[in-house]
Amino acid sequence: MHRLVGLPNPRQGQAFIDYMASRGITIQMASEPEGVFALWLADSQHLVEVEAELAAFIADPYAKRYAAASWDVAESRTAKFYYQNPSLLKMVKTQAGPFSLSVMVVVITIYVLWFLGFRQPIFALTHFPTMQGDEWQLWRYFSHALIHFSTLHIVFNCLWWWILGGQLEQHSGSGKLLQVFLFSALISGFAQFWLHGPNFGGLSGVVYALMGYIWWLGWLAPERGLVLPKPYVIFMLAWLVIGFAEPFGMSIANMAHLFGLLSGCALGFIDAKRAPSHA
């Protein structure tokens, strides 16, 4: 399934559902928080056609053809509005890709083992190299991003990884997401290590890189179609600044956040200036 759009009015959404049903295309409606009703396309092979029709519908939702379609299919559906909620797992899979989902599975698995008491061996195997003989263990320059130290830590990072990483992977492919992950994990890890030592971990630096990449690419090359909502940017930048105050005595890898953001902005700047590739 593919999420198409969120609408504030379920009757408006039903009009579009009926219109597409008259053309043999199935769309479902699902309620979401804050009074939003999301339209989900059942079969993604119709995505191009449906998105074109949706743009026309949003531009003129009261056109006669939509009302006519509702009358035509009224007898084939129940009189009451009923909206099937897609399962949580299906929603997670729909809004992500193979690499972003794989990282989430690995991160959660590691945290479960961490919670079950395997903290010492996990950290010994995955921490950033101390430069005392382990600098040739190359996986350490990236594996530090996969370990988390608290439930709040992993929930926050996985949520933003899913939102931002999933968006980038669906737009630009797994290769681009992998590139941002490796580059930002390396840069943010070195910055945090040289200033505070190897006792850190988490996806935060990569998450800030994703935010910076999508933000700058959307700002400098909006025609690419990769845009980050402004409230996301404001929230992430505000949290970055707050982190330096270490509220509630929290230990925060601020250099990883800052240099992750800078590395993502740099990649976004480079890609924005580079001519887009055509398949």
Q: Mind telling me the catalytic residues?
A: 204, 257
The answer to whether 43 and 69 are in contact (CB under 8 A) is no
CA 35 – CA 51 distance, rounded (Å): 22
Task: Please give the backbone phi and psi of residue 36, each rounded to the nearest 5 degrees, phi first.
Answer: -100, 140
Distance of alpha carbon 29 from alpha carbon 31, whole angstroms = 7
SS3 184: helix
Kindly provide the residue ranges of all beta strands, DSSP E only, lying in the chain, ordered along the sequence.
2-7, 27-32, 36-41
Q: Residue 75 corresponds to which tokens in the numbers above? A: 């007898």
- Is the sign of the CA dihedral 96, 99, 105, 109 positive or negative? negative
Do the beta carbons of residue 70 and residue 121 sit within 8 Å?
Answer: no
Nearest to 172 by CA among 184, 182, 183, 164: 164
Question: What order do you get walking across the sheet with 36-41 strand by strand?
Answer: 2-7, 36-41, 27-32
Would you put residue 173 in left (φ > 0), alpha (ψ -120 to 50) or beta?
Answer: left
How far is 138 from 240, CA to CA, in rounded Å? 28
The pair of three-digit structure tokens given for residue 255, joined into one six-digit string: 């250099």
